[in-house]
Amino acid sequence: MDKMPDANFYKACVPTWWRQKRPEFFNCGDRASVINTYFNLLRLHNHDTTNSYLDPDRLFAMIDLDLHLQKIDDYIFPDTEAIFCNLYEKSEVRSQNAALHRIWITGLIHKEAYFITPELQSIFDDYPHPPMYQDNPVELNSIYMDIADKISSDPDLKNNLNIQRALDRINHCLNCTDLDKLQDLWKTEFKNTSDEMCKQQLIMALLTIEKAKDSWVKIKPPVDWSGNDRVFREQLSLEIGRFYSEQSSDVKSHLPFFFNTLHEFV
């Protein structure tokens, strides 16, 4: 597991109160591979249930949100966007629907988005080896502006279906029907709003249509760090996972809510 940062991150997110029968996580590759692995495990179990230790009710898959659609055969939801729309509304988990899902999808694009959500600023500020972004201490608001600057040139948003998908995801906080205007509109709203709740809503909306991975890999250790940059980020991600492990379950906190739901099946 030491060579599997995705699995290690989610393992670090397991709530501190979850003492026994804690979940195990296994990397399976991209979204299609995760989905295929999930169904293949079910097929193997059903082929010979007497020789299987698997409990299908306790088998879950976690896949990343993206703008591209991933179809899913033989499941109650036909594709990844259908899962997203049923599981989330206005960037919050739909609590009444959570238990329906065995294939969960992140509410933000890729797990790296959960490394830069607004409540994590204190983690960066207090980290023993201060993380740097473009030669300055990490300031998350600056990262959000950099991510927003990619909207107009994002190749994923050149696809008309992806454009509509993106606009539908954010229409609860930005009424925009023109992608060419979206970048400037988001930045203007973000700069001018003094309402912290509104600002957070804009950030979460941004992270449902734009990837944060490129920004995450630009986070570097301070000059006095002697190790590898990747190792530094992996250690930082585990600290972020521990932060999530201490949060209470809330519809606004996707990962803690996921684990609270998961615990109901223990």
Q: How confident is the model at residue 4 (pLDDT cuts 50, 70, 90)?
A: low
| 181: its two tokens | 């205007």
Has residue 3 got a pLDDT over 90?
Answer: no
Q: Looking at residue 111, what DSSP letter applies?
A: G
Mean pLDDT score, 154-171: 91
pLDDT (tens digit per residue) in 49-62: 999 999 999 999 99
What is the reported pTM? 0.94
- Would you state the pLDDT for residue 175? 87
The single residue listed with the structure tokens 């957070």 is: 200
Contact 80, 197 (CB under 8 A): no
- Would you state the pLDDT for residue 42? 96
Question: 94 — phi, psi (to 5°)?
Answer: -80, 95
pLDDT (tens digit per residue) in 183-242: 999 999 999 999 999 999 999 999 999 999 999 999 999 999 988 999 999 999 999 999
Chain centre distance of CA 154: 19
**Mean pLDDT for all residues in the chain:** 94
What percent of the chain has pLDDT above 90? 89
- Rounded CA-CA distance 124/139 in Å is 8
Q: How confident is the model at residue 1 (pLDDT cuts 50, 70, 90)?
A: very low
- Rounded CA-CA distance 56/161 in Å is 34
